[in-house]
């Protein structure tokens, strides 16, 4: 199974900050990576798929990059509603796997 690691596991940031979260796959997954945002007690919300394609309705401050084994999610200017946990997910091969998550907290 493809293992995903995320860095950092948590970070503290302020509104307006630029934030980057990385996701590394244990083997090449082409661009078959998605990013989700999850708030406490809520279902995950799809942000990006195919590594860099923004899901409809998602603000343009979110962007994704990478291919192969190294990926990144960037929030260009952190907003109050962005404090949450972020997960990457690979869909290149079964079993589908998720990363361990990155919690973005307020500084």
Cβ(13)–Cβ(78) below 8 Å: yes
Which x/- pattern, by CB under 8 A, does the window 58-87 give for other proteins? -----------------------------x
* CB-CB contact of 63 with 89 (8 Å): no
Which residue among 7, 11, 17, 46 contacts other proteins (CB under 8 A)?
A: 46
Backbone φ and ψ for 82, nearest 5 degrees, come out as -90, -5
Q: Does 94 bind other proteins (CB under 8 A)?
A: yes
How far apart, in whole angstroms, are the C-alpha atoms of residue 18 and residue 36? Answer: 18
Helix (H) or strand (E) holding 34: strand 33-38
Closest distance of CB 1 from other proteins, Å: 7
The minimum distance between CB 12 and other proteins, in angstroms, equals: 19
Alpha-carbon torsion (80, 58, 46, 93), positive or negative = negative
Stretch that binds other proteins, among 10-18, 33-41, 58-66, 74-82 (CB under 8 A): 33-41
Q: Which residues bind other proteins (CB under 8 A)?
A: 1, 34, 36, 38, 43-46, 49, 55, 87, 89, 91, 94-101
């Amino acid at each position: 199974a493809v293992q995903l690691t995320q860095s950092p596991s948590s970070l503290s940031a302020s509104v307006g900050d630029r934030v980057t979260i990385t996701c590394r796959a244990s083997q090449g997954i082409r661009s078959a990576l998605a990013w989700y945002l999850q708030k406490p007690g809520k279902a995950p919300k799809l942000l990006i798929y195919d590594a860099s394609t923004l899901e409809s309705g998602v603000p343009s401050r979110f962007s994704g990059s990478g291919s192969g084994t190294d990926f990144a999610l960037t929030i260009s200017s952190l907003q109050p509603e962005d404090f949450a946990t972020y997960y990457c997910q690979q869909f290149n091969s079964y079993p589908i796997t998720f990363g361990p998550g990155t919690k973005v907290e307020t500084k």
